[in-house]
A and B are shown apart, each in its own frame.
Chain A
């Protein structure tokens, strides 16, 4: 059980690393585009498209990590003004609600990806990327979010939202 818990946290960390990698990748791709266009008169056909995919990835793959580090902005008006018992109840409740969203997001995201694959939808650009590839970032991120909220529930009634940035 403990090992499983550790592995789960590792998986979420891998998501965070990938998210960070995507942001840095975007930066350098766009910088490359500027240099290539301005100084070599050779604009690329792929930077805009890949940047968008990378940023979508950076959000959904990094979101679970933000949950685990209490980085999602939370209103702590009520939480800070109730006793510890109520605070614990609220923590369970809000994490359970987060899990509900994550499950719906993952389940319907997965179905959506399957449908896109079945219809053979591609991007409308020169690259003709099969759209199920970037779209798969949603259910993958969704799975990470499910894991994160389950772990928050296992951790119990800790409610640390609001203070972190």
Chain B
């Protein structure tokens, strides 16, 4: 039966069936062969509806909408200009500036794709123009974009919270310090990699001017984060505030919210949104039939009944996630694996909040691992002359850093958890 699902998914994906429909078709096949034939199809609409019947999911389309608005308005460009004036005299200064922008956008949006698109489309041409090695830049942007889901707000954390019942607020807090540390480590590495490029420092006047222009972009994360932590709105509602503020900036500050731009914004939002939500539906259908057939439960029992060290199991979990991450989209991985992994992790005595952060870093790896890596596709989309192979080569050192970071977090779980106690 496991062979049926694994082989079935592999073949459907290879045939070129879109991921969402491959998952759903496999679920339907599973229902037909193992759960009473066409009779079981009556559950298809019930489970499809249930997959999206969750208020915390409403933030997802809104984050997609916000990234499209920011992309069309000039907010991203201005922020990048500011960062480059502050950092360009350091070795590999623009690399540092790019990662700074990634962190800022990560703090606004909940998705890595949004972060990579927004920063990538500004930084990629600029850095190549100034003589940065293209492969390094592609790797830096693909990896920097993934910070979007580690630095809160974060869609994977929202999904983790809604599947497991852990507090989404706590999950967000837990992501802050690891997010900042990973950003800094990325900065140090990128700066070292491109250390031969140093530009003349900008004057203080130039820096101040650029900061003033970029003020609206800088305000956005402050409003969103400030609103969440002062309790004015919930993490789910924050997405709506983000959209309204970016719309206002685009309409009144940049004055480029014309009909053509609005149409672009709406249609790209609809496409991306339907793509993501349909994957959730497909994954839920597949998860349903696998649960009915007790596949996750059997694996859970097997893993928890083993008389081996919890850390060995933990390592096995990470390897499994890495492999899944190569082939599947992050939301599907979370939705399919969490019902299995969460009970194991709790039973083994690990902190579920800490594990959420481990899980998110694994999802970051999934975003940059071929053959299915959304951030790889994003960078390919920005400039069609880039090859996936080139992007992958550029991103490998960052993947190594992330794996080492998982090791570090395992030795010092406090990196993720200490702030939660502080905040309370």
Give residues in A with beta carbon < 8 Å to B.
16-17, 19-20, 23-24, 26-28, 30-31, 33-34, 38, 48, 51-52, 54-56, 58-59, 62-63, 65-67, 69, 71-79, 90-91, 93-94, 97-98, 100-101, 104-105, 108-109, 111-113, 134-135, 138-139, 159, 161-165
Within 8 A of A (CB), among B29-78: 41-42, 44-46, 48-49, 52-55, 57-58, 60-62, 64-65
From A16, A59, A135, contact of B267 by CB (8 A): A16
B18 touches A98 (CB 8 A): yes
Q: List 30 A-B contacts (CB under 8 A).
A: A16-B270, A20-B267, A27-B239, A34-B232, A34-B233, A52-B52, A54-B58, A56-B52, A56-B53, A59-B52, A59-B273, A59-B277, A59-B278, A62-B270, A62-B274, A65-B271, A65-B274, A66-B275, A75-B19, A93-B16, A101-B24, A101-B28, A108-B41, A108-B44, A111-B45, A112-B46, A161-B18, A163-B380, A163-B381, A165-B272
Give min CB distance, A165 to chain B, whole Å: 5
Does B275 contact A73, Cβ atoms closer than 8 Å? yes
How far is it, in angstroms, between the C-alpha of A69 and the C-alpha of B61 when the chains are bound?
Answer: 18
Question: Which are the 7 A-B pairs with shortest beta-carbon distances?
Answer: A72-B18, A59-B277, A62-B274, A30-B240, A20-B266, A71-B271, A112-B45
Q: Which residues of B contact A16 (CB under 8 A)?
A: 267, 270
**Interface window among B197-205, B370-378, B393-401:** B370-378
Q: Is the interface of A mostly helix, strand, loop or mixed?
A: helix
User: In the complex the two chains form, is A66's CB within 8 Å of B270's CB?
Assistant: yes
Contact with A along B269-292 (1 / 0, CB 8 A): 111111101110100000000000
Q: Does the CB pair A52–B58 fall under 8 Å?
A: yes
Q: A138-B49, A164-B381 are in contact. Are A72 and B275 (CB under 8 A)?
A: yes
- Distance between Cα atoms of A75 and B13 in the complex (Å): 6
A-chain residues with CB within 8 Å of residue B18 when the two chains form the complex? 67, 72-74, 94, 98, 161
Q: Which B residues have a C-beta under 8 Å from some C-beta of A?
A: 12-21, 24-25, 28, 41-42, 44-46, 48-49, 52-55, 57-58, 60-62, 64-65, 113, 117, 232-233, 236-237, 239-241, 243-244, 266-267, 269-275, 277-279, 281, 327, 329, 371-372, 374, 377-378, 380-381, 384
CB distance from B189 to the nearest CB of A (A): 27
A65's closest neighbor in chain B, by CB?
Answer: B270
Residue in chain A with minimal CB distance to B17: A94
Complexed CA–CA distance, A100 and B25 (Å) = 8
Q: List A contacts of B60 (CB < 8 A).
A: 55
User: Do the beta carbons of A30 and B371 come within 8 Å of each other?
Assistant: no
Tell me the minimal C-beta distance from B179 to chain A in angstroms: 24
- The contact of B45 among A20, A28, A108, A164, by CB within 8 Å, is A108
Is A58 a contact of B274 with CB atoms below 8 Å?
yes
Chain B residues with CB below 8 A from A77, complex form: 14, 371
Residue of B nearest to A59 (CB): B277
Q: Which of B65, B237, B279 touches A23 (beta carbons < 8 Å)? A: B65
Distance, CA A52 to CA B12, complexed state (A): 31
Smallest distance from the beta carbon of B69 to chain A beta carbons, Å?
10
Q: Are B55 and A19 in contact (CB under 8 A)?
A: no
CB proximity of A42 to chain B, nearest CB, Å: 15
Cβ 8 A contact of A72, one of B21, B45, B237, B270: B21
